[in-house]
A and B are shown apart, each in its own frame.
Chain A
């Protein structure tokens, strides 16, 4: 059965710290991995990763994929209280090209 596992489930850090969130997957026929940020509303898209070793970057957020070891990481540097959210990882597979397989999310809390 395809699955996506995120760790840690929750994380509390102080403003200014750097955090690394993990997403590992076991799926057949991987196609892409997506990161979303969810505050008290719907998920908002952050990154889509399809190739190993190519970093995607947006401001203080960056992400990279390792297709050999079947995981991705999401880094946030110089964290701010506005980064507090649940970060969700999801995977497209070739045989589920119309739906995403989701992890449970990492709840990140940034203390001032």
Chain B
């Protein structure tokens, strides 16, 4: 399978715990995006990497959230001290280095987080 992969697919945690999600983009894609999606809503942008550089972070991304892409390949998203409001689907997408705004993003299956 050469698509975007995410791990784990589901995560249930207790409030206050830390969680980490992983995303492996399509291999030739240098752009990687994290989104959060809640029921009945479209995805909300969280952060964006071009290669290993994190070029943009949404104001939605509080200081409890951190993302890395150390070698410009896979990325991790960590949430510290989880809150019930963090419960959502976390989606990762990647895209080619084409002209900005003119290339589609390919999504992984998502990680569904439930904070109890």
Indicate if the CB atoms of A88 and B33 lie closer than 8 Å: no
Asked if B42 is at the interface (CB within 8 A of a chain A CB), the reply is yes
Q: Is B108 an interface residue (CB 8 A)?
A: yes
Q: Is the CB of A31 within 8 A of B107?
A: no
Interface of B is mostly: loop
Asked whether B107 lies within 8 Å of A43 as measured between CB atoms, the reply is yes
**B91 touches A (CB below 8 Å):** yes
| Structural contact, B42 and A98, CB atoms closer than 8 A | no
Contact of A34 among B44, B56, B104 (CB under 8 A): B104
B side interface size, CB within 8 A: 25
B4 neighbours in A (Cβ, 8 Å): 42
Q: Which residues of A contact B (CB under 8 A)?
A: 4, 31-32, 34, 36, 41-45, 48, 50, 88, 90, 92-94, 96-100, 102-105
Sample of 11 more A-B contacts, CB < 8 Å, known A42-B91, A98-B33: A32-B101, A36-B107, A42-B107, A43-B43, A44-B107, A92-B101, A97-B100, A98-B48, A102-B43, A103-B42, A105-B40
